[in-house]
């Protein structure tokens, strides 16, 4: 079942992001950051176990730009369409808000290509560079994520 995140999900989201971060799949985030951006998150809840098995966030950057970020699906639940469903829910919310440029910074280029994203130069995303990337320890010389965008 796909739904918007609730306050009780924050610590689980935090744990999932940091598991993924430990594998080098994304950057770590603080629990305080999760609480302050909780409305950005969708979660996928396994109906059999009632546990959260996937997360994804849609963050508004500017009047015409949103980012898909913090996409994570538990290892045992991958290859079942959960990631696609989570990203599509975020894109649907962006469209509802009349935001039609959706980007991501990712290590999963092929996954996002299947969803219609195309690779772009990071320099085409100045709002992202100056708000988040600027604070990243990998910026500017060691960033190895691929910037991708879709116009919906």
Number of H helices, E strands in the chain: 5, 7
Q: Are the beta carbons of 122 and 147 closer than 8 angstroms?
A: yes
Across residues 109-123, what is the average pLDDT? 94
Least confident of 25-29, 62-66, 72-76: 25-29
Name which of 125, 144, 136, 3 is nearest 61 in CA terms: 125
Going by their DSSP bridges, the two strands 101-106 and 65-73 should be labelled as parallel
Contacts of 42 (CB under 8 A, 6+ apart): 2, 3, 4, 5, 55, 56, 57, 58, 86, 89, 90, 93
- pLDDT, position 28: 84
Q: What domain count does the chain have?
A: 1
How many angstroms separate the Cα of 91 from the Cα of each of 26, 69, 114?
A: 20, 12, 14
What is the CATH number for 135?
A: 3.40.630.30
Q: Parallel, antiparallel, or unpaired for β 65-73 and 52-62?
A: antiparallel
Segments forming the whole domain that contains residue 35:
2-151
**E-strand stretches of the chain:** 2-4, 41-45, 52-62, 65-73, 101-106, 118-119, 146-151
pLDDT in tens, 6-31: 999 999 999 999 999 898 888 888 99
Inform me whether the pLDDT recorded for 133 exceeds 60. Answer: no
Q: Which residues pair with 149 in a beta bridge?
A: 103, 118
139-149, pLDDT tens digit by residue? 555 567 889 99
């Amino acid at each position: 079942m796909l739904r918007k995140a609730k306050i009780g999900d924050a610590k689980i989201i935090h744990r999932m992001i940091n598991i993924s971060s430990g594998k080098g799949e994304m950057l770590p985030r603080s629990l305080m950051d999760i609480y302050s951006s909780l409305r950005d998150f969708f979660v996928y809840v396994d109906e059999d176990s009632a546990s959260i098995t996937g997360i994804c966030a849609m963050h508004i950057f500017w009047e015409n730009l949103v980012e898909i970020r913090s996409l994570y699906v538990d290892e045992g639940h991958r290859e079942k369409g959960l990631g696609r469903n989570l990203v599509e829910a975020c894109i649907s919310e962006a469209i509802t808000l009349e935001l039609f440029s959706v980007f991501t910074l990712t290590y999963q280029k092929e996954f996002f290509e299947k969803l219609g994203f195309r690779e772009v130069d990071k320099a085409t995303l100045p709002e992202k560079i100056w708000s988040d990337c600027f604070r990243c320890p990998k910026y500017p010389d060691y960033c190895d994520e691929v910037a991708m965008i879709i116009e919906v």
